[in-house]
Chains A and B, each alone.
Chain A
């Protein structure tokens, strides 16, 4: 668990980070979202003491981070840089093995763990002996991620890990990222300026502006209960898609009709599917489709059912 209280970083008169407080519970993924220069990177770097704060306090797992040497602290925190920062004079294996070597793991253990990650991140084996400049941008990003994950640190900090990639590649890495089992147990703070990405990957999102957190909450909270004009304006351009993606079928279950098509027919949607996903399935379906909800019940819905239920959810949420 990460806890931050009244954290500030001033550069002369400029307040890069201005009195922010937040918490990230174990296993959660907090996304710091905001426009360029709003203080995201500065906040992130204070978490592993790459930057020392002007004032404020940070605890990780109940321990004040200043109670430990910065080197030891950092070896226990995975970090993915805004621009990969791979060592150009190290091969990929060596790059990945930096932290385990610092932790004095034995060679076999490093080797096994590297193999495991390479497979999980869908990297070809032959990259291992290459140097970073011989890899594509997307591959380098994955290596950056592997390097941060290898020591299986419980906390992971990521600064725009999928920046500077084309949309298709980014979507692929994001998918890999979401399905990576190791990430489920980690407490993650991730920085992005991409609204889609934040909503895709964040359990919690903190929207930052000029060094302050203007609102922190779940994606749905930010969408349906924006704390200020700034927040709603910030999300405005992609609002519809975000809403459809951030609300899942469980959330609107009560507004769905109770038809069951046939118990023997397998469910092709489940409660965790977003409305957006359900729409994709239903728009071509000639018959109602079964949904398996979180409480175990099965409901059969069609496109119209879905839209009606969503509308009533919206009205409720905004009330």
Chain B
């Protein structure tokens, strides 16, 4: 994995995966689209007939559309679990509004005197619908389907969050692994699919009414075939299922190491960090790749499996700051280092527990902690410029960002602005190097394995030692990016395999080797 591979090479190398993901992507898009048409079209026709229901139906469909996709997927785990089912339902819900709305608009837009003529000629209500209203409304209806298709191709990338596959696996994997080729290998086919379907439907919209009929049947047939392509591999040899984040999947101190050192054979699906713990709790998956300090560990009653072969080295967490920001804000470094030594592993886990389980706001958790440590000072006027703080999208980072914000405002003459929720490592890091933020909390392991990606010899030498790792990344970051690692905060963060406590008790699993033995014995 040393460095410069071209996009083309990557795609060739991963062509099997790419094909599977593309097929999954198309399948997801079309199954959900088909269901949306089957339900949305009659619903649109119905509200065109009974206008008193149109407000309610369009309103509900409109509200569904505004629910953020990842939230919708999260809501569905308790109901439908993970995998294709909730993904299809979510996509279906997104596709509904344009289809219902355009069917409604199309049908109500048919010239009333034409409808009356049809009636006066002695056509029945069904004949009027099929021979007059639908053909005349068809261009508008097709425009709705077209919109829905394009939306679905886009949203289907998020299906990978809940282990439903699709091109999102490459896209989000690439984002967390800082692998641009991987991102593009997912993003380019997704964009092409959107363009292709859009063009095909645009063509369909333009052809005459006669051919349209044929075109519609053709489209229906194609849609069914494409939908059928998406055969879901539900059966697996192993009784346990692992749900790993895309980042974990590609890391040496993650799944790669797990394979090499433990030779763990477990049915694995790719799932997003945000829904992973919940999915484990809901028994959708059994083994997950979490962080050792994550509060959800406690919240969902999960236990960490002991890493008896030491493949998950502990890493420091520390703020990383652009050097020019340190020059611009001379008092900044001192303020950030104030936190150092105050948070150890158990403290961090407890803080995480407060946000993740007790649902306290990160601000409150941050303030309570600083007050208790006698570090809190009310904000000064902050007239000498604004420091921009970044954070990735999970609780720990939110809490740290808030603490830093309070320290900066209390102890320096600067104002602090938090830009929280910067996706994964890549987004956060790119924001930093591109001067969109001034610093964010990072982990040395991530710096080493995801950002620097040194060659195996170097890796071998430093990997297991957290201080060597810290020194190496500190040097390299200054040299390569002009970014400074400040003092470690004090807690370590490392990957860990987790399972439900109940299940480990039942199966007598305490270590990863236990897990391996259990999996091997089972076959």
Judge if B35 is at the interface, Cβ distance under 8 Å.
no
Residue contact B209 to A74, C-beta cutoff 8 Å:
no
Chain A residues 17-75 with CB under 8 Å of chain B are 48, 50, 71-75
Residue contact A88 to B119, C-beta cutoff 8 Å:
no
Across-interface contacts of B122 in A (CB, < 8 A)? 71-76, 99, 102
Complex CA–CA separation, A81 to B119 (angstroms): 11
Count of CB-CB pairs between chains A and B under 8 Å:
56
Contact with A along B103-143 (1 / 0, CB 8 A): 00000000101101111111110010000100110000000
Contact partner, B121, options A79, A82, A83, Cβ 8 Å = A79
Complex CA–CA separation, A168 to B12 (angstroms): 76
Residue contact A48 to B118, C-beta cutoff 8 Å:
no
Report whether over half of chain A's contact residues are helix, strand or loop; otherwise say mixed: loop
Judge if A87 is at the interface, Cβ distance under 8 Å.
yes
Across-interface contacts of A86 in B (CB, < 8 A)? 114, 117
Judge if A262 is at the interface, Cβ distance under 8 Å.
no
Contact with B along A291-317 (1 / 0, CB 8 A): 000000000000000000000000000
Residue contact A50 to B119, C-beta cutoff 8 Å:
yes
- Known contacts A88-B136, A89-B136, A89-B209, A83 near B113 by CB under 8 Å: yes
Residue contact B120 to A50, C-beta cutoff 8 Å:
yes
Residue contact B121 to A81, C-beta cutoff 8 Å:
no
- Known contacts A71-B123, A99-B122, A89 near B117 by CB under 8 Å: no
Complex CA–CA separation, A83 to B113 (angstroms): 7
Judge if A98 is at the interface, Cβ distance under 8 Å.
yes
Residue contact B118 to A74, C-beta cutoff 8 Å:
no
Complex CA–CA separation, A34 to B272 (angstroms): 74
Across-interface contacts of A257 in B (CB, < 8 A)? none
A272 CB, nearest partner CB in chain B, Å? 34
- Known contacts A79-B120, A99-B121, A99-B122, A87 near B113 by CB under 8 Å: no
B463 CB, nearest partner CB in chain A, Å? 70
Contact with B along A92-105 (1 / 0, CB 8 A): 00000011001000
Residue contact A81 to B113, C-beta cutoff 8 Å:
yes
Residue contact A98 to B121, C-beta cutoff 8 Å:
yes
**How many of chain B's residues have a CB under 8 angstroms from any CB in A?**
17
Residue contact A89 to B123, C-beta cutoff 8 Å:
no
Complex CA–CA separation, A74 to B117 (angstroms): 11
Complex CA–CA separation, A70 to B113 (angstroms): 18
Chain A residues 92-124 with CB under 8 Å of chain B are 98-99, 102
Across-interface contacts of B136 in A (CB, < 8 A)? 88-89
B239 CB, nearest partner CB in chain A, Å? 59
Across-interface contacts of B111 in A (CB, < 8 A)? 85, 88
A172 CB, nearest partner CB in chain B, Å? 24
**How many of chain A's residues have a CB under 8 angstroms from any CB in B?**
22
A132 nearest CB neighbor, chain B only = B114
B388 CB, nearest partner CB in chain A, Å? 59
Complex CA–CA separation, A58 to B135 (angstroms): 35
Complex CA–CA separation, A179 to B517 (angstroms): 101
Residue contact A87 to B118, C-beta cutoff 8 Å:
yes
Contact partner, B123, options A82, A83, A102, A147, Cβ 8 Å = A102
Complex CA–CA separation, A84 to B118 (angstroms): 11
Complex CA–CA separation, A52 to B136 (angstroms): 27
Chain B residues 63-122 with CB under 8 Å of chain A are 111, 113-114, 116-122
Across-interface contacts of B120 in A (CB, < 8 A)? 48, 50, 74, 79, 81, 85
B118 nearest CB neighbor, chain A only = A87
B307 CB, nearest partner CB in chain A, Å? 69
Contact with A along B355-374 (1 / 0, CB 8 A): 00000000000000000000
Across-interface contacts of B113 in A (CB, < 8 A)? 81-85
Residue contact A87 to B117, C-beta cutoff 8 Å:
yes
Complex CA–CA separation, A87 to B110 (angstroms): 10
- Known contacts A81-B113, A87-B114, A88-B114, A74 near B135 by CB under 8 Å: no
B215 CB, nearest partner CB in chain A, Å? 14
Complex CA–CA separation, A269 to B118 (angstroms): 45
A48 nearest CB neighbor, chain B only = B120
Across-interface contacts of A76 in B (CB, < 8 A)? 122
Contact with A along B400-426 (1 / 0, CB 8 A): 000000000000000000000000000
B132 nearest CB neighbor, chain A only = A87
Across-interface contacts of A98 in B (CB, < 8 A)? 118, 121, 123
Complex CA–CA separation, A82 to B112 (angstroms): 12
B209 nearest CB neighbor, chain A only = A89
Across-interface contacts of A71 in B (CB, < 8 A)? 122-124
Across-interface contacts of A99 in B (CB, < 8 A)? 121-122
The 9 listed contacts between A and B (C-beta, < 8 Å) are: A74-B119, A81-B113, A85-B114, A85-B117, A86-B114, A87-B118, A87-B132, A89-B132, A89-B136
Q: Known pairs A79-B121, A85-B113, A86-B117; list 16 more (Cβ under 8 Å).
A: A50-B116, A50-B119, A71-B122, A71-B124, A76-B122, A81-B117, A83-B113, A84-B113, A85-B114, A87-B118, A88-B136, A89-B136, A89-B209, A98-B118, A102-B121, A102-B122
